[in-house]
């Protein structure tokens, strides 16, 4: 099979390409990526000369560039997006462009070139927020209620994908997953930010009271779930993917990272001003994908977090290059005024 992966130089996209070439050695992949601040071609250095892999630097909003690559493939796996909530609060426009218009451009091209199979990667953030200390979980039937420009733009893209199935019969599937973590995670997100700040001897910023809850999913488990939905999922359906079976607050995540890294939490953490519109709690009911496709997470949180910490210890040059570039200006803007 010939795949087009969008956003393959980002965190999850690059993990997915490595995963797919390992598990489907007969397939070929074209990776289309604009290489925004979050795209890092270094993530794919080990396969750059692999004859099964081709990289195309282009924007998914560029109709001509998209058309050229879409014509060559059997399946599109769509990861490319602006993905960071805090950046969507600082500057929403690019989120609407890439996440809504970019998805539209790909869908149009898929439809005009013979209704190419389309798998869309989305997020649990489209469902809004759950209350603390309840057993409520997001599932495939939860109504959409996005709160940030990021999640609103992802909700828009999900609606477009469904509309192309209902209106044009485009063979689509959608996955809405929770917070991924693992290797190649850009250090603006909470877990890699905490790990790399601790290695650098810096404090870990915790927003608000730190009692916010996320459902943490190891990226390899996510890649396997997407593989199963592509292979066995029902066309037109959505599948929710999550990694946890109990709530863990951000404070507890940072406490665990501190424990695993051998530093004192009280000295290492710093509570700062909250994120506007901060969703209180996410939790995923992943029983549909378990029942229909037999998927469940294989990595427990603590062990996967230890592996992730080790990866950041072993790959200091990877994240130090990122942290010394454009990232520094972002970090100052995002954190200095809030301390």
Note the residues at the interface with ligand NAD (CB under 6 A). 7, 9-13, 33-36, 38-39, 59-61, 79-83, 98, 102, 121, 123, 154, 177, 179-180, 186
Q: Which of 59, 108, 125, 285 is catalytic?
A: 125
Site string for ligand DAU, 229-258 (x = CB under 6 A): ---------------------x--------
- With residue 66 as reference, give the H or E element that holds it: helix 63-70
* Residue 332 burial (CB count, 10 A): 10
123 binds ligand DAU (CB under 6 A): yes
Q: Of 213 and 230, which has the nearer Cβ to ligand DAU?
A: 213
189 binds ligand DAU (CB under 6 A): yes
78 binds ligand DAU (CB under 6 A): no
Is-catalytic flag, 266?
Answer: no
Q: Are 87 and 36 in contact (CB under 8 A)?
A: no
Minimum distance, C-beta of residue 54 to ligand NAD, in the bound complex (Å) = 15
d(CA 194, CA 216): 15
Residue ranges in 264-323 that form contacts with ligand DAU under rule CB under 6 A: 275, 282
Q: Which of 104, 150, 212, 239 is catalytic?
A: 150
Q: Which of 82, 108, 124, 215 is catalytic?
A: 124
DSSP code of 53?
E
d(CA 120, CA 123): 10
Give CA torsion, residues 61, 63, 69, 72, to 10 deg.
Answer: 140
Coil, helix or strand at residue 63: helix
Minimum distance, C-beta of residue 113 to ligand DAU, in the bound complex (Å) = 29
Name which of 168, 207, 203, 199 is nearest 319 in CA terms: 199
Residue ranges in 144-183 that form contacts with ligand DAU under rule CB under 6 A: 178-179
Cite the DSSP H helix spans in 77-199.
85-90, 93-95, 102-112, 149-168, 190-199
120 binds ligand DAU (CB under 6 A): no
Coil, helix or strand at residue 148: coil
Minimum distance, C-beta of residue 260 to ligand NAD, in the bound complex (Å) = 20
Name which of 35, 312, 6 is nearest 181 in CA terms: 312
Catalytic residues: 124-125, 150
Query: What is the contact surface with ligand DAU in residues (CB under 6 A)?
Result: 83-85, 123-125, 178-179, 189-190, 193, 205-207, 212, 214, 250, 275, 282
């Amino acid at each position: 099979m010939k795949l087009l992966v969008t956003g393959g130089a980002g965190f999850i996209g690059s993990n997915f390409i490595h995963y797919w070439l390992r598990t489907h050695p007969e397939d070929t992949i074209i990776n289309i990526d604009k290489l925004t601040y979050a795209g890092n071609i270094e993530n794919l250095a080990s396969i750059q000369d692999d004859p099964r892999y081709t990289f195309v630097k282009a924007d998914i909003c560029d109709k001509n560039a998209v058309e050229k690559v879409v014509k060559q493939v059997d399946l599109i796996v769509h990861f490319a997006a602006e993905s960071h909530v805090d950046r969507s609060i600082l500057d929403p426009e690019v989120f609407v462009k890439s996440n809504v218009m970019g998805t539209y451009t790909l869908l149009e091209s898929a439809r005009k070139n013979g209704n190419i199979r389309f798998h869309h990667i989305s997020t649990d953030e489209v469902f809004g927020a759950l209350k603390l200390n309840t057993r409520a979980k997001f599932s495939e039937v939860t109504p959409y209620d996005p709160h940030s420009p990021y999640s609103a733009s992802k909700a828009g893209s999900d609606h477009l994908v469904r509309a192309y199935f209902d209106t044009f019969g485009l063979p689509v599937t959608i996955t809405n997953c929770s917070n991924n973590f693992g290797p190649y995670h850009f250090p603006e997100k909470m877990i890699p930010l905490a790990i790399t700040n601790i290695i650098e001897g810096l404090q870990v910023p915790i927003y608000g009271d730190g009692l916010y809850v996320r459902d943490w999913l190891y990226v390899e488990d996510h890649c396997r779930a997407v593989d199963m939905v592509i292979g066995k999922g029902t066309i037109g359906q959505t599948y929710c993917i999550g990694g946890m079976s109990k709530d863990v607050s951000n404070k507890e995540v940072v406490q665990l990272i501190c424990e695993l890294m051998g530093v004192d939490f009280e000295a290492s953490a710093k509570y700062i001003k909250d994120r506007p519109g901060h969703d209180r709690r996410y939790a995923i009911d992943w029983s549909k994908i378990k029942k229909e496709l037999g998927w469940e997470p294989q990595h427990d949180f603590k062990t996967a977090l230890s592996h992730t910490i080790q990866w950041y210890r072993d790959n200091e040059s990877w994240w130090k290059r990122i942290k010394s570039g454009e990232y520094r200006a972002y970090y100052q803007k995002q954190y200095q005024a809030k301390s």
